[in-house]
Amino acid sequence: MSVAVSKNSQLGVADIERYLDSAALPLRLAVNSAEGTPLVASHWFLYREGALYCVLHKSSLVARCLARDGRCAFEVGSDQVPYRGVRGQAKATLSDSGVDTLLKALFARYRINPDSRLATWLSGRVADERLVCIRPEWVSGWDFSERMADAID
């Protein structure tokens, strides 16, 4: 990852990459609406070679916002103790290619049965989906495991 890491980040680049590669949590993606107000939505993601990848329906509000303004922010963080995660600011680009391959990888990552009704339905919409590549420009990671070690029952 060739990105600026916040000086206040508890995690270094290697730990941030390990976390993003292993965390099967939704990515919270913040985009800029046409009115200039933030919009946050959660998406399955895959981390590869310094970028985060998602699939969005072409007509979704988030996809339309990113097509107009690729600036975004993200967070991948657990809501279970001990709290840990990564957040950052990024630039996103949209593509019509690679959607089917990414969708299959997302099914595997999030342990979705590829023969399930959900997977079949999503796979049937591939032509209407877009691949989103989120390239972080700034990141920060946190891990409160030590701080919370004696606080957890």
Average pLDDT of adjacent 10-residue blocks, the chain of 153 residues = 72 88 95 93 95 96 96 91 87 95 96 94 92 94 69 61
Report pLDDT for 21. 93
Report pLDDT for 7. 75
Q: Reduced to 3 states, what is the DSSP secondary structure of residue 74? A: strand
Residue 153 lies in a domain: no
Adjacent-strand bridge partners of 56:
130
Report pLDDT for 11. 82
Range of the domain at 12: 4-147
Report pLDDT for 151. 61
Residue 152 lies in a domain: no
Number of domains observed in the structure of the chain: 1
